[in-house]
Amino acid sequence: MRNLDETDLRILELLAEDARRPFSDISAEVDLSAPAVSDRIDRLREEGVIRRFTVDLDQSTLSGGTPVLVRLAVRPAFVDDVRDTLRDAEPVEHLFVSADGDVTFHARLGSDSIRAELHELLDLSTVRDYEVSLVESAEWTPTVNGTGFALECAECGNTVTSEGERARIGGTLYHFCCSSCLGRFEDRYDRLEAGAQASEN
Amino acid sequence: MRNLDETDLRILELLAEDARRPFSDISAEVDLSAPAVSDRIDRLREEGVIRRFTVDLDQSTLSGGTPVLVRLAVRPAFVDDVRDTLRDAEPVEHLFVSADGDVTFHARLGSDSIRAELHELLDLSTVRDYEVSLVESAEWTPTVNGTGFALECAECGNTVTSEGERARIGGTLYHFCCSSCLGRFEDRYDRLEAGAQASEN
DNA sequence: GTTGAAACGCAGACCTA
DNA sequence: TAGGTCTGCGTTTCAAC
């Protein structure tokens, strides 16, 4: 697959913040035209990078069952089966499969008998052991490339908003909250580089 | 807080499927005008039910660090601290706090030393024990009220699409893929009810 | 809640490098 | 092949009801 460039990543960050943001809005952020942004987003969907645009709900306000976190020690031969079953199971919201065959999932179950619901959900003979705990709070923060979208100014540490600036300095892309932070950073960088060159001689 | 009605839930389901769906589209689904839908969505955001519109990314295509699932047995006094710290930590994507004080989170860490990164992330003296496992696959299915948005027809089990129907029968809301399924279900329900009344006499 | 009018955003056709 | 511009159409918003 084609590599994503910085513009793609920036678009994904902006969509993670607000997926309903107009393309014209995004296009201003990334210095592109609106149709160009639309094209890139189409491509990201086709490539499977974007799975869907969706909504992050505060489930605690919805009171739809008891949220539980279940950890299954699955018999190695059945890991794929169990994953596929749980993936399509209605009450399952989050599903993690670890390299060692543990399957952890977050689901909302009817409050009656959790053990009985687990039986309905999957064949417990495929499982060596399981553990259920009630979930008090569950949160989700969409991140792009592990960096999160809450960028920090490389100069002052403040949050970088839409008014921020970006610059490639010494091969690395830095984000700044404003042009003066960018200016100060560049000055410092130039001075450091001049010092390094002086010491080389 | 005001209770959500069925229309609100249906709107949330539609947004969970595709958050960029036009309001006019949603309004046709729920037999309301577009401004009415817009008003309801505004209200849902204000009430905190909708936290944000966002994008579900296939992180495996983004290769941004090593995904790990970490389970912390946190000393009871520090559970809130640890939760707040992790909530705002950049690499943390999912965060679950159980009623018994276990904190489980999913994060993408630089592949060097995971132990060192954990040290940076939180004060390990607040933790009795921890366990890290590499995550092979992580998936997320947005659900509304624990039912998920992939509704099944109560009569034939097929997936209910936009062309489906809903009906409240005997106090419960059922979903159907088409009007004939609804009709058959009602017939059966009436017959069962008649039988139950007969046996009462 | 609805309706209608004005502002806005979007998709497509077409053009440029 | 990626992006820019223009334009018609659909969508959103806002006021009036």
**pTM strictly above 0.85:** no
Alpha carbon distance B29, B6 (integer Å): 12
Do B185 and B124 reside in the same domain of the chain?
no
A43: nt with nearest C1' to CA: D2
| Banded model confidence at residue B12, pLDDT cuts 50, 70, 90 | very high
The answer to whether residue B38 is domain-embedded is: yes
Do A81 and A129 reside in the same domain of the chain?
yes
| Number of domains chain A is built from | 3
Whole-angstrom CA distances from B81 to A143, B73, B84, B126, B155 are 22, 13, 5, 9, 49
Report if CB B6 to strand C is under 7 Å: no
| Banded model confidence at residue B171, pLDDT cuts 50, 70, 90 | low
HSE-CB for B45 with a 13 A CA cutoff: 11
pLDDT, position A200: 53
A31: nt with nearest C1' to CA: D3
Domain that holds residue B127: 60-134
pLDDT tens-digit profile of B23-82? 999 999 999 999 999 999 999 998 889 999 999 998 777 756 788 999 999 999 999 999
Q: Do B140 and A94 touch (CB under 8 A)?
A: yes
Do B67 and B44 reside in the same domain of the chain?
no
**At which residue do the structure tokens 């389970």 appear?**
B71
Query: Strand B66-74 and strand B102-109: pairing?
Result: antiparallel
The answer to whether residue A54 is domain-embedded is: no
Q: Do A49 and B65 touch (CB under 8 A)?
A: no
Q: Which residues of chain A have pLDDT under 50?
A: 148-149
Do A69 and A111 reside in the same domain of the chain?
yes
Do B12 and B37 reside in the same domain of the chain?
yes
Do A68 and A124 reside in the same domain of the chain?
yes
- Report CA(A9)–C1'(D4) in Å, whole number: 22
The answer to whether residue B144 is domain-embedded is: no
Strand C nucleotides in reach of protein CB atoms, 7 A cut-off = 1-4, 8-13
| Chain A 7-36, CB < 7 Å to strand C | 22-25, 34-35
Mean local confidence (pLDDT), B7-29: 94
Best to test chain A binding among B12, B15, B26, B54 (most A CBs inside 10 Å): B54
**Which residue did the predictor score with more confidence, B201 or B35?**
B35
The answer to whether residue B141 is domain-embedded is: no
**Which residue did the predictor score with more confidence, A147 or B5?**
B5
Do B74 and B115 reside in the same domain of the chain?
yes
Q: What is the CATH number of the domain that holds B67?
A: 3.30.70.920
Asked whether B139 and B159 are in contact (CB, 8 A), the reply is: no
Q: Do B18 and A99 touch (CB under 8 A)?
A: no
Of A4, A55, A104, the CB nearest to B69: A104
pLDDT tens-digit profile of B71-115? 999 999 999 999 999 998 888 999 999 988 899 999 988 756 677
Do B66 and B130 reside in the same domain of the chain?
yes
pLDDT, position B2: 60
pLDDT at B129 over 70: yes
Do A125 and A72 reside in the same domain of the chain?
yes
Strand, coil or helix: B116: helix
Asked whether A139 and B97 are in contact (CB, 8 A), the reply is: no
